[in-house]
A and B are shown apart, each in its own frame.
Chain A
Amino acid sequence: MPLERVIGAGETLVSEQDLLVRERRAFLERNRHQAWKIGVLQVGLFAAFLFVWWFASGRLVDRLFVSDPVAVTRTLYAVVVDGTLWWHLQRTLIEMALGYVAGVSIGVTLAVVVTSLPWGQSVVRPLMLGLFAVPKVSLAPVVIVWLGIYLAPKIVLSASLVLFIVYFNTVAGIVSVNQEIQGVLRVMGASRFSILTKLTLPHAAPYIFTAMRITVPGALIGAIIGEFLSANRGIGFFIAAASSRYDTARVFAGIVSLLVFVLLLNAAIARLERYVARWRPAHERAEG
């Protein structure tokens, strides 16, 4: 039933239906504009960065040190086309994936076990904080001595940069569970396992996902450090070998490929996170 009202002397009547349609259209238009502007600014910033790089190279800084965007693009194109990059990336990807999965699962499992023990958290905390504070890079040579030069040391280094952050975040999620809801569930007859699966883990999920997102670069860094020190394949090896030949363009080509790779991974995890968090109000969901 369109309720009509006079909006001014001599003007036409506006129906509520028209008003709703008009406002909705304006809203969508504003949104589209916003997205478009952000896109332009993102590209602009990137272009400015490339320009400064290109301009400085050979004028302000020795080309040997920074190469330039054109040479890097050319090299990148060459190694993509001849398959070299993919061949190395594959290895790094495997190491990183295994390290990441190991780090996340050990971190979460440890957090669940420790928090389920009486005083577990208080007893374990100093040790975990101590281990967390150890610079893993300084351990890398020893890890290679222990585990050889194949995949294992890279996986361990990669996992070690994931595990602690996942552990601490998961613990924070678990201990912040509302005690009253837990009481209600116990009265309902829920077992400890039911409380874990129905309450504790779903509650801790956003904490775990946050840790999973911020540790993706860590997993990659672990694998790359391992490859720097001893490897015959992998992006870390690719960069180290180029660096030892002063082939800066190749070094940067390797770094750019890592950058793109991390951005893609991050987007994939954000998508997964949005799916898992679909019950949350829109403003609480993850961006990007």
Chain B
Amino acid sequence: MADAPFLQAQNIYKVFIARGGQARLALRNVDLTVRRGEFLCLIGPSGCGKSTVLNMFAGLVAPSDGVIRHDGRMIVDVNTQVGYVTQDDNLLPWRTVLANVELALECKGVAPDERRSRAVDYLTRVGLRGYEGLYPHELSGGMRKRVSIVRTLVDDSVDVILMDEPFGPLDAQTRLILQDELLRLWQGTGRTIVFVTHDLVEAIALSDRIAIFTSVPGAIKDVREVNLPRPRDVFHIHETPGFSEIYDRIWNDLREEILKTRADNAA
């Protein structure tokens, strides 16, 4: 059952109309299958359409052609069975930390008492107990990011978490700490994570599999297994036996595409 297709993108094409009015192909025949319970990273050169695929899983962007499926259902409208963590923390600045974490539960009609206790429980797990009453602008970037992740995880009616370069804007140390926290929060929950990044080390540290995108128009170039044992030590991941083989193999794939993107941009 673990290997059964859970989230699927089948023969996806996406055409964007540029400002000048000309149509440009952004995705070409993307075929991607996410397994239930896995941590999948999408990696590729910038502008290759990884985030667009994520937006399609969320039902916020419709493919120009092809089909998105989630647990057998065809996604034609907003997909409320997923949680979405964006690159910016996107907290509501007029809500306290606690009220921000309760937001999704509020939208789903969970009773106030339960909402509160679940939110507090999650905040405790990421060390934010005691910060419930603060407003986002009173927190550091790392703390805001924790709140943003926790407000997505707290809704247990979603079985897929989509993350769009969530750690991109953070400094290197905070990034590592949050990667570690994310793995702890996720481990053993059975939830599926699709995580967009352009940091290869991050992808290897976190994921079970890595899907490599080609340069634009984006397609899946390859999907590689990351069979490093769990639980993983993200702080010393590059010392883990097997790391450099995986890194070199994927970097070879990736380098070609990055060079192509650079050539395209220069042209």
Contact = CB atoms under 8 A, between A and B. Distances in A.
A189 interface: yes
Contact of B103 (A178, A183, A198, A279): A198
A281 B104 contact: no
Secondary structure class of chain A's binding surface, majority of residues = helix
A178 B90 contact: yes
Given A183-B60, A198-B103, A279-B135, A189 B90 contact: no
B94 A279 contact: yes
The winner among A186, A189, A191, A194 for most chain B CB atoms within 10 A is: A189
B78 interface: yes
B84 A183 contact: yes
B94 A187 contact: no
A104 B92 CA distance: 25
Interface in A159-215: 178, 180-181, 183-191, 194, 198-199, 202, 205
B88 interface: yes
Nearest to A202: B94
A184 B86 contact: yes
Contact of B155 (A188, A194, A279): A188
A180 B137 contact: no
Contact of A280 (B90, B103, B137, B155): B137
A137 B78 CA distance: 50
A180 B165 CA distance: 14
A198 B86 CA distance: 19
B211 to A, nearest CB: 21
Interface size class of A (residues with CB under 8 A): 20 to 34
B33 interface: no
Interface in B37-61: 55, 58-60
Nearest to A205: B94
Contacts of A205: 94
Nearest to A181: B90
B97 to A, nearest CB: 11
A198 B82 CA distance: 20
Q: What are the 3 tightest A-B residue pairs by CB atom distance, in nearest-first order?
A: A189-B80, A188-B104, A279-B94
29 contacts: A178-B90, A180-B86, A181-B90, A183-B58, A183-B84, A184-B86, A185-B103, A185-B107, A186-B60, A187-B58, A187-B60, A187-B79, A187-B82, A188-B80, A188-B108, A188-B155, A189-B104, A189-B107, A189-B108, A190-B107, A191-B107, A198-B92, A199-B92, A202-B92, A202-B94, A279-B93, A279-B135, A280-B93, A280-B137
